[in-house]
Structure 1
Amino acid sequence: MKPEEVIPGLRALIVKDLVERHGFSRKEVAEILGITPPAVTLYLQGKRAGDVAKLLRRKGALKLVREFTDHVVERGGKISMPALYDLAFSVIPLIEHKVTMGREEESLIDLRRNEAQRLLQLLRERFEIEQKSAEKFMRIASRLRNQALRMLIRMIARDCVKHADVMMLLMSVVESGGEMRIDLPDIELLDKLLSEEKSFHVHGLNEIKKMLPHKILTLLVDCIADDEKKHERILKNLVNYARISEQRESVS
């Protein structure tokens, strides 16, 4: 599920919470969210994003929304679009997790049942850890005033969201029997991507770091460097995997 699909429903829940629980007027809520008072009315009446709001409420997202609005009320000001995206990223794993976890265990066909159940248990536990961590870091980030520090904490939160997504994918594969067809890109394309990724490393990140005025800012640049190393490692492994697969096909 994409953030753009979730945000209208989040707005509906935020509007309702600000009006009913915090006692804001419709005009005040419109100013906080950067929308018109008639739009606030439509959200309250369930005529805008009502179905998405019901889904979010049913999946347990209301607690996160209330914590979000509490922070908004506490610090004052308006709700920015990046803040809504952050909230959406926190909610999406919760929604998709509920769907994944509802599947019947009879779908475990090829893996031995006991091992598969144990693996699913471990994956679920890790999923919940990553989800809770993402929520915690998002809450912390929302309270920070310094933009650089807030971005660093949000990056950690987004990594936790990505980790939760990985756990969901692994659960899906295990529940479907452990089989997965992989269609790799052409080796030449992978080699080209790998060469381009290596070339990025020489574009002056160290020089940029030396010129920055604060250690927190250099940490942000370090994150870029770490990501580039990770991308190179992933592409190298894909190239090797593609070559091994190609050799096997030629032999057979």
Structure 2
Amino acid sequence: MSVNAEKLLPGLRALVARRLVERFGFKQKEVAQALGLSPSAITQYIKGGRALSQAGALNQPEVMSLVDELCEKVAARKGQLIQAEFLQLLYEASRLLQMKRPPGEGEAPSVRLEGKDQLLETLKSRLQAEQEAAEMFMGMAVHVRNDLSRLLFRQVASDSIRHADIVMAIISAVERGEEGKVDLPSVEELKRLHRYEEVAHVHSLDRVQQLFPSPIIAALLETVEADEEKHSRLLSKLIEMSSAEPRA
């Protein structure tokens, strides 16, 4: 009998639900909110039943390690479960079961999961999460009266919008089969840009923080410095990639 990813889903939910309750001390209501399910469904997962019996095939050390890793993240975020992470767990569990399937056993459970389709599902879930985050933080920025505080929330919203654009571009590239294509300027041009970044931003903003020892100003300036460090890392990576590309 063939077992597809959809059939693994209830079993994984049951494992995550029981782990959050038994190991991390979550209440069933909190688990229901995290998984987006009704409290009665969580009760069934905890007590047993069909979903838990389906989890038997998943009760392997490698899979349980992945379940524990996800539950630790949920616990650290005080009950927030990111859907993309659960989809990744589903994919990894499916892959592990497929690898463990004895060769030649026609009746053995198998997992047939298209890697590209699963990748797209994960990306689309992340896209939705980024769009929702952008909307939430932009709404918060509207209600904050202080301009500096408003900037912090707007920056998070802008980052989420940018992240959504990146994920959307990756989705488009994957759907077209162009995710491996690279089109970069020459190494010399990239190095010139890198030098410009280093010279233009050589002056640290530490002095500003000393003159204005405000927590909100410090937080804003830290984001500026973090962006500059990120730009430097990106340019270094692009130089490395461009150097590896064969030139005509």
Query: What CA deviation, in whole Å up to 9, does each residue of 1:19-74 have, x standing for no partner?
Result: xxxxxxxxxxxxxxxxxxxxxxxxxxxxxxxxxxxxxxxxxxxxxxxxxxxxxxxx
Matched-pair contact (CA < 8 Å) for 2:134–2:161: yes
Partner of 1:200: 200
> C-alpha displacement at 1:182, in angstroms?
2.5
> C-alpha displacement at 1:133, in angstroms?
0.5
> C-alpha displacement at 1:200, in angstroms?
3.5
- For the residue of structure 2 that corresponds to 1:131, the secondary structure is helix
Partner of 2:223: 223
Tell me the TM-score normalized by structure 1: 0.51
Does residue 181 of the first structure (1) align with residue 181 of the second (2)?
yes
Does residue 127 of the first structure (1) align with residue 127 of the second (2)?
yes
- For the residue of structure 1 that corresponds to 2:235, the secondary structure is helix
Partner of 1:117: 117
Query: Cα distance 1:179–1:155, how it changes in 2: closer, same or farther (>3 A)?
Result: closer
The CA distance in 2 between the partners of 1:216 and 1:192, in whole Å, is 34
Query: What CA deviation, in whole Å up to 9, does each residue of 1:166-204 have, x standing for no partner?
Result: 110111011112445322112111101111212234213
Query: What CA deviation, in whole Å up to 9, does each residue of 1:98-143 have, x standing for no partner?
Result: xxxxxxxxxxxxxx98111100100010001101010000111100
% identity of equivalent residues: 36
Does residue 240 of the first structure (1) align with residue 240 of the second (2)?
yes
> C-alpha displacement at 1:146, in angstroms?
0.3
Query: Unmatched 5+ residue regions in structure 1?
Result: 1-111
Give every structure 1 segment of 4 or more consecutive aligned residues whose post-TM-superposition deviation is greater than 4 Å: none
Matched-pair contact (CA < 8 Å) for 2:194–2:232: yes
Query: What CA deviation, in whole Å up to 9, does each residue of 1:195-240 have, x standing for no partner?
Result: 1212234213111111114110111111110010000000000011
The CA distance in 1 between the partners of 2:182 and 2:237, in whole Å, is 14
Within-5 A mapping of 1:58-137: 114-137=114-137
> C-alpha displacement at 1:161, in angstroms?
0.5
The CA distance in 2 between the partners of 1:169 and 1:183, in whole Å, is 15
Matched-pair contact (CA < 8 Å) for 2:170–2:179: no
The CA distance in 2 between the partners of 1:232 and 1:183, in whole Å, is 19
Partner of 1:147: 147
The CA distance in 2 between the partners of 1:222 and 1:179, in whole Å, is 33
Query: Unmatched 5+ residue regions in structure 2?
Result: 1-111
Matched-pair contact (CA < 8 Å) for 1:201–1:225: no
The CA distance in 2 between the partners of 1:181 and 1:174, in whole Å, is 11
- For the residue of structure 1 that corresponds to 2:114, the secondary structure is helix
- For the residue of structure 1 that corresponds to 2:162, the secondary structure is helix
Query: Cα distance 1:128–1:192, how it changes in 2: closer, same or farther (>3 A)?
Result: same
Does residue 164 of the first structure (1) align with residue 164 of the second (2)?
yes
Structure 1 residue identity aligned to 2:124: R
- For the residue of structure 1 that corresponds to 2:245, the secondary structure is helix
Query: Cα distance 1:179–1:136, how it changes in 2: closer, same or farther (>3 A)?
Result: closer
Question: Which has the higher mean CA deviation after the structures are superposed, 189-198 or 137-146?
Answer: 189-198
